[in-house]
Amino acid sequence: MYYSEIVVVGSLNMDIVIKVDNRPKIGETIHAEKVFYSCGGKGANQAYAAAKLGGEALLIGIVGNDDFGKTLMANLEQAKVNTESIHTAADATSGVAIITLDKTGENNIILGTGANGAVNKSYIQQNKEYIQNAKLLVIQLEVPLEAVKEAIQIAFDNQIPVLLDPAPAQKLPSDLLEKIDFITPNETELTKLTDVEVIDLDSAIEASKQLINKGVKNVFAKLGKEGVVVVNSDLTYFHIEGHIVEVKDTTSAGDAFAGALAKKLVDQVSLKEAAIFANEVAAMTVTKYGAQKSIPSLEELNSIENKSYKIMEG
């Protein structure tokens, strides 16, 4: 058994991406501009990003005994993700995501859970040693909530910090939120988690403070082109402006952000330095098509010319 610094619990999906000018109305048939397959799943994307950016990452998940499962595993291994804790289910298909991508780069996603649904409390228990020996647990909500709760409890009991990407968006109980050290919601997820409609920087800060009051220690609110605002447990905050880039596909930007943030957190850099790095990675990710294949390398990040960012504190 090989232990990794970053342990990710989550989903593996084959993304079937359909590029269109505009999405069809009910009952309407349209032609797609392009169709392609891309290895994805929020858990797999996060582990892939952390590993590609130089981190030591392991993924706990399940694939089906099919061609998609084999491809998903091979792609993770190519990025040096530890896959020894990924099980192949004989009686389930691999997860899939049907993604429509419009001309602005924005997407809609329909998830076919498949083998991801077998990541249950028992499966987490079978793999708990990986979590107990990690420096950071990264988790999201594309596997059953009972597994999410169990993994977080194991980490909490062993004083392992937890980074939660609360997607897909849903309400979460306070007894779970109070065990979260770092959370990375976008505007939609932040609205769902709180009583605040997040429409701008001020409302994002207000909603983030609500999460702090619910017990979360640090909130990294992702605001798309407006960058990221980080609110700490003492209710102070800083805002890092977004990058101006040509957006082609936003599919895995949030996962790239989480994986990059995880890498820097285990490196024990400041939260500001970690947020700047994750913001850069997410911005470069949206300039390419696909999920994992759009995540940049360290060499590509070093090609960014303007590394001077406007940072507002409060």
CATH at 234: 3.40.1190.20
pLDDT of residue 313: 75
Residue 167 lies in a domain: yes
Residue 217 lies in a domain: yes
Q: Would you put residue 215 in left (φ > 0), alpha (ψ -120 to 50) or beta?
A: left
Of 15, 181, 249, 255, the active-site residue reads 255
Residue 76 lies in a domain: yes
- What is the model's pTM? 0.92
Residue 24 lies in a domain: no
Residue 182 lies in a domain: yes
**What string of pLDDT tens digits covers the 314 residues of the chain?**
788 999 999 999 999 989 998 888 899 999 998 898 999 999 999 999 999 999 999 999 999 999 999 999 999 999 999 999 999 999 999 999 998 888 887 788 898 999 999 999 999 999 999 999 999 999 999 999 999 999 999 999 999 999 999 999 999 999 999 999 999 999 999 999 998 999 999 999 999 999 999 999 999 999 988 899 999 999 999 999 887 777 787 777 899 999 999 999 999 999 999 999 999 999 888 888 777 888 988 888 777 655 556 677 77
- Domain of 214 in residue numbering reads as 6-11+45-92+116-313
pLDDT of residue 307: 58
Residue 107 lies in a domain: no
Q: Which amino acid is at 281?
A: V
pLDDT of residue 103: 83
Count of domains forming the chain: 1
Residue 109 lies in a domain: no
Residue 175 lies in a domain: yes
255 is catalytic: yes
